[in-house]
Amino acid sequence: MKTLTCDVCKHTIQQPVANRNYFHLAHRDLCEYCKDQLDSVLKPVIRTKQPFDYDWYNRLMQDFIEKAIIKGGFESKK
Ligand SMILES: [Zn+2]
């Protein structure tokens, strides 16, 4: 595989290397930029969850990714 398309921003990733320039999360492929965006929108939500629950985290992450695919990007509040 020489190129990969980010499921969120539709950016083409050249020479994809897992966990380096693309991330396979919740059955979706995300580019590095979208992974960073995902982290920034997830972090404030994760902080509110005590104790941390991995199944909850996976569902949350999947939900954020699916919404971002529909909208074409993550909404980060800065
Ligand atoms: Zn992307």
Centre of ligand 1 from the C-alpha of residue 69, in Å: 9
Residue 67 within a domain: yes
The domain containing residue 46 runs over which residues? 3-71
Residue 77 within a domain: no
**CA–CA separation, 22 vs 44, rounded Å?**
23
* Residue 55: C-alpha distances to residues 35, 52, 59, 64 (Å): 19, 9, 6, 14
Residue 7 within a domain: yes
Position 75 confidence tier, pLDDT thresholds 50, 70, 90: confident
Residue 76 within a domain: no
Centre of ligand 1 from the C-alpha of residue 13, in Å: 9
Answer whether 57's CB lies under 8 Å from 24's CB. no
Check residue 2 and report its DSSP letter: -
What's the pLDDT score for residue 34?
97
What's the pLDDT score for residue 15?
95
Q: Supply the mean pLDDT for the chain.
A: 93
Q: What is the pTM of this model?
A: 0.87
Chain segment 20-71, per-residue pLDDT in tens:
999 999 999 999 999 999 999 999 999 999 899 999 999 999 999 999 999 9
Residue 58 within a domain: yes
Neighbours of ion ligand 1 (CB under 5 A): 6, 8-9, 11, 31, 34
Centre of ligand 1 from the C-alpha of residue 8, in Å: 5
Q: Is the peptide bond before 16 cis (omega within 30 degrees of 0)?
A: no
Domains held by the chain: number: 1
Residue 35 within a domain: yes
